[in-house]
Amino acid sequence: MSDAHIFHPTVLREYDIRGIVGETLTPADARAVGRAFGTMVARGGGKTVCVGYDGRLSSPDLEAALVDGLVACGLHVLRIGLGPTPMLYFATRDREAAAGVMITGSHNPPEYNGIKMMLGKGPVYGQQILDLGTIAAKADYASGPGSSERIDVQDAYVERLLKDYDGVRDLKVAWDAGNGATGEILRRLTAKLPGTHIRLFDEIDGTFPNHHPDPTVERNLVDLKKAVAEHGCDIGIGFDGDGDRIGAIDHQGRVVWGDQLVAIYAGDVLKSHPGATIIADVKASQTLFDEIARQGGKPLMWKTGHSLLKAKMAEVGSPLAGEMSGHIFFADKWYGFDDALYCAVRLIGLVSKLGVTLASLRDRLPPVVNTPETRFQVSEERKFQVVQEVKERLSAAGATVNAIDGVRVNTPDGWWLLRASNTQDVLVARAESGTPEGLERLKAMVVEQLEKSGLPAPSFEDGGSVH
């Protein structure tokens, strides 16, 4: 068990560990992660680790290998079994464990899987993940007599989710679990949540037979929109594969995007935390930052990445943060981690107690026109160089640039963003304006800057959507 292990170079990512099962990620890799991460935990004085896994076909084997590695480090492992990633976060906090590990491929295609980790109350990311590779390569492992046991936290988790429901009138809600890991918890939750509930695809199936489990892509919401229309629902809720990202539909069948949801939640949270700092990532709409300020909050734009936002929230004491991608974090009444089931409970409660529709809350935000996130491939080495070149050219030209994560450029027409992905060999571009003509001018600016760096222009799909 003490053999050195070298991971495939693509597997240790910024926020997690991820690979193609049987090719770049195997049970031997999972065992090595268990030994390396277990070493980190044990040398930090930790004794207990919670472990969970999602509904992918490869997850049970990877979980068993990971547990072997943790036990070999002399740790006691609490195995919570199959469920969503936030249930693992909850169990780690609820059982006061030193760390938590989740086997999950999140919203990636079925052939992928991965590992997310938390140490203490915070995420493991960046250099800490690279350090696991160093420990494994040197076989510099802690060892000792460890043990494991299976525990069931599902009822405790559901009870905690329900605790913060504050609705006063019953709503009709459609839910799309996308055959992901939320299915069983969703059944238990909706059995106890007031109102009428229509559940779609709540059978956990790692082949994802109905649609890909990513609610931030509109084509994956077709079934949910149909259910909302057919049943006359007030709200539709969708989840990603491991339940840490939320998608929402109003009763008119329109998508309420991640940044719009944060703006809606902010109004509620700021009532009990007046003047609080609320955080969103650089991809979020300007309307969100304006709305936070309008309601007396302090808007803070921060880097994209769920681990980075969680860390920033803890640093500044923020009660709420969110990403365009549907990762939304409540520290108001909750634990500060991203939990789509909890976000759903809060959204239904909010609409119920305000006596309004989700559509009306969405329509309080000024309409803007924007592009979807447009990704185009650039080599790992070149992607950061291009962003730096663009930043230098814009700064020399006196443009208004926020460089917290890539370049976000404000102009009279609106704003545009170019950033290097931390998880893929792509650049991400986005633009937003108050008018279609302004959006075209912003898109032309992005194209011009990329051409100056010798890159072909991105194809902005759909030409822009109303948001």
Task: Quote the CA–CA distance of 143 and 34 in Å, as a whole number.
Answer: 12
- Residue 130 tokens read as 């690279």
- Give the residue among 65, 9, 60 at the shortest CA–CA distance from 36: 65
Is 124:118 a contact under the CB 8 Å cutoff? yes
- Residue 232 tokens read as 């006359």
Give the distance, in angstroms, between the CA of residue 247 and the centroid of all CA atoms in the same chain: 11
Is 276:269 a contact under the CB 8 Å cutoff? yes
- Give the residue among 122, 91, 123, 99 at the shortest CA–CA distance from 48: 99
Which ranges of 44-169 would DSSP assign to H, the alpha helix?
Answer: 59-72, 85-94, 127-138, 154-163
Integer CA distances (angstroms), 23 to 130, 137, 352, 424, in order: 20, 19, 48, 18
In the block, residue with structure tokens 């609320």: 278
Residue type, 59: S
- Residue 175 tokens read as 């839910």
Task: Quote the CA–CA distance of 460 and 432 in Å, as a whole number.
Answer: 12
In the block, residue with structure tokens 């229309």: 229
Task: Give DSSP secondary structure letters for 260-281.
Answer: HHHHHHHHHHHHHSTT-EEEEE
Candidates 2, 58, 59, 106; catalytic one? 106
Integer CA distances (angstroms), 16 to 130, 186, 217, in order: 10, 25, 22
Give the 3-state DSSP-derived string for 342-361, with helices as H, strands as E and coil as C: HHHHHHHHHHHHHCCCHHHH
For 189, the 3-state DSSP assignment is helix
For 212, the 3-state DSSP assignment is coil
Task: Quote the CA–CA distance of 216 and 193 in Å, as a whole number.
Answer: 25
Task: Quote the CA–CA distance of 412 and 407 in Å, as a whole number.
Answer: 16
Question: Is residue 106 annotated as a catalytic residue, yes or no?
Answer: yes
Angle in degrees, CA 104, 228, 464, rounded to 5: 75
* Pairing mode, strands 76-82 and 147-150: parallel
Angle in degrees, CA 155, 156, 160, rounded to 5: 115
N-terminal to C-terminal alpha carbon distance within the chain: 53
Known catalytic residues are 106
